[in-house]
Amino acid sequence: MVGTIGIFALPMRKDTECCAYVKRFIEGRVFSVLMISTISLNALCMVLQTNYDIRNYLFLIFEVVEVLFMSVYCFEFCIKLYVDPLGYWKNGYNLLNVVIIIILSVPFYMRKLFGRHYPYLNIGEGIQSLRILKLIPYSRGIRTLITALGQTICTVASVMTLLFLMMFIFAILGFCLFGSTDAGDLNNWGNLAVAFFTLFSLTTVDGWTDLQKDLDERGFTLSRAFTIFFILLGSFVFLSMFVGVMIIHTEDSIKKFEKELEDERHVAVLQEKQNILKKQQEEVSRLMQKGLVEGFKKTLRHSDPMVLEDFCTTLPFIDIYLSTLDNQDNTISKYIEIEDDLGLPKLRGKGKEGEHSRQRKSIERHW
């Protein structure tokens, strides 16, 4: 068995076959179909439970089904933990599962600890709807979408922080101007929280004319400038900036993501091509022997024309190739000059250089 998870080293698992079997089961189709159907059924039951009559009528069924769902989720948690005790916690979706199991048990404990008439009981029941988030790991499309968009979270957070700071400044300003005195608009600017709400309402430009009317009735002359200035800044500038920043980041992250997929596929295809080429080479080297090649060469005549369209036999290619080689030759010659200047030991592969230039010359001659 696993034994104790020591601080220094995890002892080797002795049940590798069982572990492998369970792992195969988890990654198989049966398990995912089971989980998806369970979660969908759970979502449906929760919708039905909101109706008081149905809940009253089918009370027992709902209780039983609830226990069933809870057991399925715990079973999933246990076997996933069994397969990989330490690596389980590194995956974000597994953490989500744990959080949802904790949420599942919240209403039960609330009822136990605080009694039946605790006013916040419906809050506990409300957050049960988060169970449907368990569906996300089983859908590849949504997972890729979240991975692709995950990069934009940083941008979103920074823009939000900036917006919050700006609203903070204006909230304090608005409170001092409009909500501090008794003759002021205490309803909308009385304390900081309400001021924040008012400003948020101005940012989303919903019902702001009513708020402005309230201020006008109280006779504040500066209020119009204040409101209009804030709407321009918050709604027009900030929210549009939000859109712009998101557009750029979405484009970048999606492009990067697709490029990664493309590269993976490319590498796989290239690998296959290499294998095929290697097999071909082996076959050829088996067939070709020196005598055969020489014999074949003797059969070639100069007056036989061969018309080719391949790029590697066209004149532009030869031009480009020889120019590139010349460029490389120049680099070498420059280096050798440096050698001479510095008085370094001569590192010229004389034989190779000579042969190289000889072959180049013969190519040029054959034009």
Residue 91 C-beta: closest distance to another protein, Å: 19
Residue 7 C-beta: closest distance to another protein, Å: 40
- Distances in Å between the Cα of 328 and the Cα atoms of 168, 190, 325, 338, 344 are 64, 78, 5, 15, 21
Q: Which is nearer to another protein, 232 or 248 (CB)?
A: 248
Residue 68 C-beta: closest distance to another protein, Å: 20
Query: Of all helices (H) and strands (E), which one includes residue 331?
Result: helix 315-342
Q: Quote the CA–CA distance of 107 and 118 in Å, as a whole number.
A: 11
Residue 280 C-beta: closest distance to another protein, Å: 7
For 97, phi then psi, to 5°, come to -60, -45
Residue 129 C-beta: closest distance to another protein, Å: 4
Residues 6+ apart with CB under 8 A from 345: none
- Alpha helices, DSSP H, located in 2-58: 16-27, 29-49, 52-57
Give the count of beta carbons closer than 10 Å to the beta carbon of residue 179: 20
Question: Distance between terminal CA atoms of the chain?
Answer: 75
Two tokens at 28?
A: 């198989």
Give the count of beta carbons closer than 10 Å to the beta carbon of residue 83: 19
Q: Which is nearer to another protein, 23 or 356 (CB)?
A: 356
Q: Which is nearer to another protein, 25 or 147 (CB)?
A: 147
Residue 326 C-beta: closest distance to another protein, Å: 5
Q: Quote the CA–CA distance of 136 and 116 in Å, as a whole number.
A: 34
Q: Which is nearer to another protein, 90 or 366 (CB)?
A: 366
Cα dihedral 148, 153, 158, 159 sign: positive
Q: Which is nearer to another protein, 70 or 79 (CB)?
A: 70
Residue 256 C-beta: closest distance to another protein, Å: 12
Q: Which is nearer to another protein, 81 or 145 (CB)?
A: 145
Q: Which is nearer to another protein, 7 or 287 (CB)?
A: 287
